[in-house]
Amino acid sequence: MMRSWILLLLGACGPLWAQAPRWDDAALRNAGVDPFICEPVRAFAEGSFENPVMTVPYREGKQEWVLVLGRKGQLWSCEANDKGEAPHLSFDLARHLAGEGGHPGRLGLTAMGALFDREFPKRRYLYLRFSVRGGRKLNKLVRFEVTKGAPLGLGKMEEILVWESNGHDGGDLAWGPRDGYLYLSSGDGSSPGDPDNIGQQTDRIRGSILRLDVHGEEGERLYRIPKDNPFVGVEGVRPEIWCYGLRNPWRMAFHPENGELWLGDNGDEHWELVHKVRRGANFGWSAFEGSHVFRASNPLRGPTLQHTPPEVEHPHTEMRSVIGGLFYRGSKMPNLREHYLYACYFTKQLWAFSYREGVVGTPFVIADLPEAPVHFVEDHDREVLVTCLEGGVFRLQAVAKKVRGRPWPGLLSETGLFRNVAHQEPAPGVVPYRTNAQAWFDGATTERFLAVPKGQSMKQGGGQQLVKSWVFTEGTAIAQTLSIEEQRVETQVLYFDGRWQGYTYRWNEEGTDAVLVEAGGAEAELRFQSGLPHRWRFHSRAECMTCHTQKTNFAISVTTSQLDLVDAGGVNQLDRLLADGYLAQNPALRSLKGQPRPNPHDEVLTLGLRARSYLDLNCAHCHRETGLGGRAGFQLMSHLSLAETGIVDAKAVVGMALGPDSKLVVPGVPERSELFARMARRGAGQMPLIGSQVVDPRGVELIRKWIRSLGEK
């Protein structure tokens, strides 16, 4: 009792906080990352756009403008200068379509691409590519008459092409620089794994790039088929197709000198792809994933029976969702001339490779982006604008001051986090902590540590930050050691130096130290005292950051509800952190204190509370808007109501482990519920997608009982 009173008293006396020990992060500062070539700077004021997906520069007379397309069909026009004028919301596609007979609440519109006519402003058209979901999910290519350009005004709409899609839409538009035709990309419109083999079917336009003459008409069509398209007159092949065998081609661009078409194509289980497009090519999906056999039983089909491999492919240990880019030809970043720039949506890393005389160089990372990138474009000065889905539009520029980097410590003992590594005795200022509930780590137990640097403290954020991890300052580190059968296996380290970095260490057999795992991660077959082999994945640095994202505030377990518990000394951890000055007191923290995270395996609690907490712990860091599982269309955070999650009686947009008639959760019937089926398997279609090699039997049984209970009246 006396100890608790003293700690609370100290927590109220700010000047005494400085007496608590602090961690020295000198061993990690400026370590691990070579100096980047370029950096993003905000092109427009923060909050100018809601979920932008594309930026399109254009001219109206002598004025230079850009058009920014929002995911829900908003069109903002902005003057292309640095004066900071507010953008004009010029058009709302969703409202327009609702006025044409749609229902705004049921429309389900997703915009993907916009492009002015190649002869604009002479030919005053804007082409839009989007999907709408009502009774059916349709992809549409339309054009609007441009009535005014500065700012934008739109008039009559005409539908050029409409087709069905049930998944990957892969939408982009580009003008051929030499032939003047419109090139249009289309995804396979299918679920992961392409269960219906759409990729090799050429009697439909999914999974392909189309080439259209939209300046002409043919019968009732508002376009003509160019006579030199490769499959004109070939039976069973849509004549619009320029090439096929693609999965989800996202963003394409022509080489500014030789006219080659390049694109990024999202892979499935293992690879992300960059293709150089060839007339009539078959890129192999889903017989192949890139250059690798994907489904041996699925032969190449259609008129082209020769597989064209990608020019560049990245394993999922490096990249999770490629965003095709462009060839740089500006003047502000001379080191990047003759380089192709592209990115990864989930890791937010910007990549480049050289391309000279037809030879592709080795890809390398050139920058970190603040949010998920979705589009690259040249501005009026041939410099690069990157559109990020939640962050807005950024301009790339050369790094003003290069910080000299050094290697990340090769041994855990060299990080400065531990006074004695073998005994996991933390260094001064490194605080051990426990959580109320733990995610599934393939049967491993955890030891957790927080390292708070001098003069800094952690803080519970308010507003939307209430349901995320705490707010941290530069120099903070978080470590987690995983053990099986009391044998230490792995220590994971997150470090914040203005951006979060994730590293993995593998413990030696003697248990005296741990060695840094290579950037691409590693696989191992481990044996423990029980004698049973245990397959283990030491995650790559890119894999670390696919889960530890901005949407959770990166440090998934460091939340008020998780640390609100009494430690071994009989003191609440929050009170201890407050008293030592590691945690700042504020109204947001006080509002959450006393609401600990429910332990999914505490049978005193209700079944529903336990199940929702389990799904939050193990799944919600991905299954949330714009997370790794965001494309699946549902969210699993426990603060949402069950109806708000979107899982009950909802069709699985991604997955189909149980066939096309399955649903995410069928109340009362776990055997027909995709969520349950994917938890209960490992391999293709498993959940979680990464981070586990072994099914969690207690977790699966908990979710089975919960789904069964949902059918009870």
Compute CA 670 distance to the chain's CA centroid, rounded to the nearest angstrom.
29
pLDDT for 628 equals 63
pLDDT value of position 89: 94
Helix (H/G/I), strand (E/B), else coil: 573: helix
Q: Is 70 exceeded by the pLDDT of residue 659?
A: no
DSSP string, 140-164: EEEEEEEEEETTEEEEEEEEEEEEE
Tell me, rounded to whole angstroms, the distance of Cα 594 from its chain centroid.
33
Phi (first) and psi of residue 448, to 5 degrees: -120, 150
Percent of the chain with pLDDT over 70: 91
Which residue would you say has higher pLDDT here, 17 or 502? 502
Per-residue pLDDT at 256: 96
Q: 298 and 200 in contact (C-beta within 8 Å)?
A: yes
Q: pLDDT tens for residues 224-242?
A: 999 999 999 999 999 999 9
| SS3 state at 175 | strand
The pLDDT of 385-406, averaged and rounded, is 86
pLDDT in tens, 461-486: 888 788 888 989 899 999 999 999 88
Looking at residues 144-166, what average pLDDT do you find? 93
Residue 654 binned pLDDT confidence (cut-offs 50, 70, 90): low
Least confident stretch, 69-78, 648-657, 666-675, 692-701: 648-657
H or E, element range at 588: helix 587-592
- Position 634 pLDDT exceeds 90: no
Query: Could you tell me whether strands 359-360 and 364-368 are parallel, antiparallel, or unpaired per DSSP bridges?
Result: unpaired
User: What average pLDDT does this structure show over 426-432?
Assistant: 94
Paired tokens of 13 = 């006396």
Confidence of residue 542 (pLDDT cuts 50, 70, 90): confident
pLDDT value, residue 17: 39
Please give the pLDDT value at position 3.
37
In the chain, the amino acid numbered 57 is: P
As a whole number, mean pLDDT of residues 390-414 equals 87
This prediction's pTM: 0.77
Peptide bond preceding 533 in cis form (omega within 30 of 0):
no
**Residue 2 phi/psi, 5° resolution?**
-60, -40
Alpha-carbon distance values, 400 to 90, 103, 384, 497, 669 (Å): 36, 50, 16, 18, 59
Q: What is the pLDDT of residue 532?
A: 66
Tell me the C-alpha distance between 278 and 259, whole Å: 11
Phi and psi (nearest 5°) for 504?
-125, 135
How many whole angstroms separate alpha carbon 413 and alpha carbon 408? Answer: 12
- What is the rounded average pLDDT of the residues 72-100? 86
Of 268 and 191, the one with more pLDDT: 268
How does residue 508 score in pLDDT terms, banded at 50, 70 and 90?
Answer: very high
Fold for the domain defined by 169-317: Neuraminidase (2.120.10)
132-136 mean pLDDT: 78
pLDDT value at position 156?
95
Of all helices (H) and strands (E), which one includes residue 244? strand 241-244
Burial 82-93 (b: 16+ CB within 10 A, else e): eeeeebbbbbbb
- CA triple 20-579-617, angle to 5 deg: 105
One-character DSSP codes across 498-524: SSEEEEEEEE-TTSS-EEEPPTT-EEE
Which residues, including other chains, have CB under 8 Å from residue 125's CB and lie 6 or more apart?
A: 116, 117, 143, 144, 145, 146
pLDDT at residue 691 in the model:
81
Place of tokens 């929050």: 574
pLDDT in tens, 159-192: 999 998 877 888 899 999 999 999 999 999 887 7
d(CA 652, CA 634): 9
* Mean pLDDT along residues 445-450: 96
Residue 353 to residue 366: CA distance in whole angstroms:
10
Q: What is the mean pLDDT of residues 291-303?
A: 90
Tell me which residue of 260, 304, 264, 298 sits closest to 282, measured CA to CA: 304
For the segment 545-569, the average pLDDT, to the nearest whole number, is 84
pLDDT band at 326 (very low <50, low <70, confident <90, very high): very high
Q: What is the pLDDT of residue 320?
A: 85
* Residue indicated by tokens 């003003």: 400
pLDDT of 340 over the 80 cut: yes
**SS3 assignment, position 15:** helix
What is the residue-wise DSSP string for 344-405? Answer: ETTT-EEEEEEEETTEE---EEEEE-SS-EEEEEE-TTS-EEEEETTTEEEEEEE-SSPPPP
Mapping DSSP to helix (H, G, I), strand (E, B) and coil, where does residue 297 land?
A: coil
Q: How high is the pLDDT of residue 346?
A: 85
Return the H-helix or E-strand segment holding 95.
helix 93-99
- Computed over every residue of the chain, the mean pLDDT equals 89
Asked if pLDDT for residue 373 goes beyond 50, the answer is yes
pLDDT value at residue 20: 80
- List pLDDT tens digits, range 14-56: 333 345 888 999 999 988 866 789 999 999 988 899 999 999 9
Identify the band that residue 683 occupies on the pLDDT scale cut at 50, 70 and 90.
confident
335, pLDDT greater than 80: yes
pLDDT for residue 177: 96
Q: Is the pLDDT of residue 297 over 90?
A: no
Cis peptide before 407 (omega within 30 of 0): no
pLDDT, position 629: 60
DSSP line for 459-509:
B---GGGGGSPPB--TT-EEEEEEEETTEEEEEEEEEESSSEEEEEEEE-T
Q: What is the 3-state secondary structure (H, E, C) of 65-120?
A: EEEEEECCCEEEEEECCCCCCCCEEEEEHHHHHHHCCCCCCCCCCEEEEEEECCCC
* Structure-derived torsion over alpha carbons of residues 165, 170, 175, 178, reported in degrees to the nearest 10: -110
Contact (Cβ atoms closer than 8 angstroms) between residue 196 and residue 168: no
Instruction: Write b or e for each residue in 169-186: b if 16 or more Cβ atoms lie within 10 A of its Cβ, otherwise e.
Output: bbbbbbbbeeeebbbbbb
Identify the band that residue 632 occupies on the pLDDT scale cut at 50, 70 and 90: low
Poorest-pLDDT segment among 107-116, 259-268, 573-582, 612-621: 107-116
In this prediction, residue 100 has a pLDDT band, given cuts at 50, 70 and 90, of: low
Least confident of 7-11, 297-301, 388-392: 7-11
**Cβ neighbour number for residue 72 with a 10 Å cutoff:** 18
**pLDDT band, residue 501 (cuts 50/70/90):** confident
Name which of 375-384, 403-412, 487-496 the model is least confident about.
403-412
Q: CA 130, CA 160: separation in Å to the nearest integer?
A: 12
How sure is the predictor about 82, in pLDDT bands with cuts at 50, 70 and 90? low
CATH 2.120.10.30 segments of the chain: 169-317
